[in-house]
């Protein structure tokens, strides 16, 4: 991937996305920088200045992007020749891609590609919930799966569709809806999926104002997912970035709602900077049936 973590420390990270460099907040990076802040500012094209919402649930990512040198507001990077993603400053501190998710994209691609199909025209189906700008959706689609991509924000779905077109792919089904509402309806319809991907936030709102709170609603969502995941060759990926949520907890949730089924692995995602410092970037749990 055309990405490098150049340095991290003092609750910030210096990242290179293709030819352009950004500085963003990173609460996990509590150690000293390897390079002085003056050097960081010399490298960066974009700098995110946090706002007054830091520490307020739902507003932790508020702030303002400042352009430090000539650079576009949007550019494209490639992932292993499988798909392409637009990156650039968004309304929050994000840039449209979470590079720490690369191992999950590889997992989704490999699992979707390996599902055996017994009849002509029969392909695996993958559901991507809280799908953001679509990297995991594109990984599944590149592997030959039919994909349902769901996010509560229409502008994120629009960006994901643009990423699909940039990648030369087609046929993803786009859904703007509350994840829990959609899964409950799929249970009633009897629809099933070979793969389910979840990347829920700590707090959120659906398009109709539906409230999402991780600790309260994740168990309900996982119970629904257990009803629509194919029992043979099925897989599930749960990723959580919320501070205080540990890998063992993610693994326990999977085991609770998929008891005695398949192989469960869990752990912490890390990104290494060029100085070999390991920055934690959320936790994951994966189920393979």
Transcribe 198-217 into DSSP letters. Answer: E---SEEE-TT--EEEHHHH
Phi, psi of 79 (to 5 degrees): -115, 100
Judged by DSSP in three states, 133 sits in coil
pLDDT at residue 209, as a whole number:
84
What is the spatial distance between Cα 47 and Cα 28, in angstroms, rounded to a whole number? 18
pLDDT at residue 57, as a whole number:
46
pLDDT at residue 202, as a whole number:
86
| Nearest in space to 222 (alpha carbons), one of 241, 246, 243, 240 | 240
pLDDT at residue 119, as a whole number:
58
pLDDT at residue 102, as a whole number:
96
- Tens place of pLDDT for every residue, the chain, 289 residues? 799 999 999 999 999 999 999 999 999 899 999 999 999 999 999 999 987 555 444 455 678 999 999 999 999 999 999 999 999 998 888 999 999 999 999 999 999 999 887 556 678 999 999 999 999 999 999 999 999 999 999 999 999 999 999 999 999 999 999 999 999 999 999 999 999 999 998 888 888 888 888 889 999 999 999 999 999 889 999 999 887 889 999 999 999 999 887 999 999 999 999 999 999 999 999 999 9
pLDDT at residue 82, as a whole number:
97
Residues recorded for the chain: 289
| Nearest in space to 142 (alpha carbons), one of 115, 108, 174 | 108
- What domains are there in the chain, each with its CATH number? 3-78 (2.60.40.1180), 98-288 (3.40.50.150)
């Amino acid at each position: 991937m055309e990405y490098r973590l150049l340095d991290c420390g003092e609750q910030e990270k210096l990242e290179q996305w293709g030819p352009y460099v950004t500085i963003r907040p990173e609460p996990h990076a509590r150690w000293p920088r390897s390079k002085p802040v003056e050097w960081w500012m010399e490298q960066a094209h974009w700098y995110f200045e946090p706002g007054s919402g830091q520490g307020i649930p739902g507003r932790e990512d508020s702030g303002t992007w400042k352009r430090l040198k000539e650079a576009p507001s949007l550019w494209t990077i490639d992932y292993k020749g499988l798909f392409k993603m637009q990156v650039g400053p968004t309304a929050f501190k994000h840039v449209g891609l979470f590079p720490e998710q690369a191992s999950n994209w590889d997992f989704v691609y490999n699992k979707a590609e390996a599902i055996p199909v017994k009849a002509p025209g029969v392909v695996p189906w993958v559901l991507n919930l809280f799908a953001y700008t679509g990297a995991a959706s594109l990984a599944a689609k590149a592997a030959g799966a039919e994909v349902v991509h769901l996010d509560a924000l229409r502008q994120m779905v629009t960006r994901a569709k643009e990423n699909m077109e940039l990648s030369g792919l087609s046929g993803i089904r786009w859904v703007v809806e509350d994840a829990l509402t959609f899964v409950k309806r799929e249970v009633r319809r009897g629809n099933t999926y070979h793969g389910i991907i979840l990347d829920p936030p700590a707090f959120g709102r659906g398009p109709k104002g539906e409230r999402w709170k991780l600790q309260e609603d994740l168990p309900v969502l996982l119970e629904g997912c257990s009803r629509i995941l194919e029992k043979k060759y099925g897989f599930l990926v749960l990723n959580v970035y919320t501070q205080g949520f540990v890998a063992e907890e993610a693994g326990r949730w999977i085991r609770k709602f998929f008891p005695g089924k398949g192989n469960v692995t869990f752990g912490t995602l890390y990104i290494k900077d060029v100085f070999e410092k390991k920055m934690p970037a959320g936790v994951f749990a994966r189920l393979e049936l």
